[in-house]
Amino acid sequence: MSVYFTPEMAVEYQADGFFLVRKLFTEGELHQVTDYIIENVINTGRLPVVQPHKTDRFLREWASQERFLDLVQPLLGPDLALWTVHCFYKPSVTGPRTPWHQDARYWAMKPVVTASVWLALEPVDEENGCMNVIPGSHLEEICQHHQIDDEKDQASLSLEIDNQKFDESKAISIVLDTGDCSVHHSHLIHGAKANNSGRSRHGLVLRYMPTSSIRTDGDLYLARGRDLSNGVNVYIQD
């Protein structure tokens, strides 16, 4: 078992749908990837915000290091595919809210089995729009989502869960320091408030799935083990 993953985390993930890892990286260890994302994604747009790993070898290899894989293997098994790299950057003052949602509602995957790692590249708290979660909501089915009126609501997603489907008073704020991360289930209800502070909110989300699940969007990278899809999945080749 990973030096970062504990039996208590397995219990939390099963019961609550998420757990936190403090100091998965030191601030110094994150300088290279943070500078790389700022230069190539945020400043120049050479790489896209979502799925830059499809064309960028540095990011897919960085996201496939043992530190991450050892965190998700106890949850997903030994045969792992990286399928998402998402650079979450909420600028100061203008960063939009993220509506309450379940990730699995958006994904083309059968079956939907995924663990998401939300890595803080700088401090993330309630003032600059940290993630909020509803513990235990992953145990329910996918909720009804409705379309958001983009003209009235400048949100980061187009769909939102009907608010009568869950109790928002049970929400917990995921406050992270640089190098901390959260790991959450694909069905967990979560969202984030707008960033009205004078600080940016910079994070990196990495998603992993067992290779027995099927996904055909061209974004899979075989990070550990072997393919269990009988050749249906196609993987990015280095």
pLDDT in tens, 5-25: 999 999 999 999 999 999 999
Residue in the block written with tokens 């640089």: 178
pLDDT of residue 165: 77
Q: Which of 79, 27, 17, 120 is nearest to 209 (CA)?
A: 79
Beta bridge partners of 195: 95
pLDDT score for 159: 78
The model's pTM: 0.94
How far apart, in Å, do the first and last CA atoms of the chain sit? 28
C-beta separation of 19 from 183 below 8 A: yes
Which of 106, 117, 97, 167 is closest to 142 using CA atoms?
106
Cα–Cα distance list, 134 to 44, 75, 82, 125, 184 (Å):
36, 20, 25, 17, 11
User: What CATH class is the domain 7-224?
Assistant: mainly beta
pLDDT of residue 153: 60
Instruction: State the CB neighbour count (10 A cutoff) for residue 50.
Output: 15
**Structural domain spans, the chain:** 7-224
Which residue in 197, 215, 195 sits closest to 207, CA to CA? 215
Going by the DSSP 8-state scheme, the letter that residue 178 receives in this structure is: T
Torsion of CA 148, 88, 174, 30, to 10 degrees: 180
Nearest Cα to Cα of residue 144 among 188, 191, 102, 109: 102
Q: CA nearest 40: which of 64, 57, 28, 25? A: 57
Ordered per-residue pLDDT tens for the chain, 238 residues: 578 899 999 999 999 999 999 999 999 999 999 999 999 999 999 999 999 999 999 999 999 999 999 999 999 999 999 999 999 998 899 888 888 999 998 888 999 999 999 999 999 999 999 999 999 999 988 888 878 876 556 677 777 888 777 899 999 999 999 999 999 999 999 999 999 999 999 999 999 999 999 999 999 999 999 999 999 999 999 8
**Sheet order of strands, 98-101 included:** 98-101, 190-192, 131-133, 172-173
Q: Which residues make Cβ contacts (< 8 Å) with residue 85, sequence separation at least 6?
A: 50, 51, 52, 53, 59, 60, 63, 204, 205, 206
The DSSP output letter for 143 is P
What phi, psi does 79 have (nearest 5°)? -105, 105
Q: Where are the alpha helices (H) located in the chain, listed in sequence order?
A: 7-16, 31-37, 57-62, 66-76
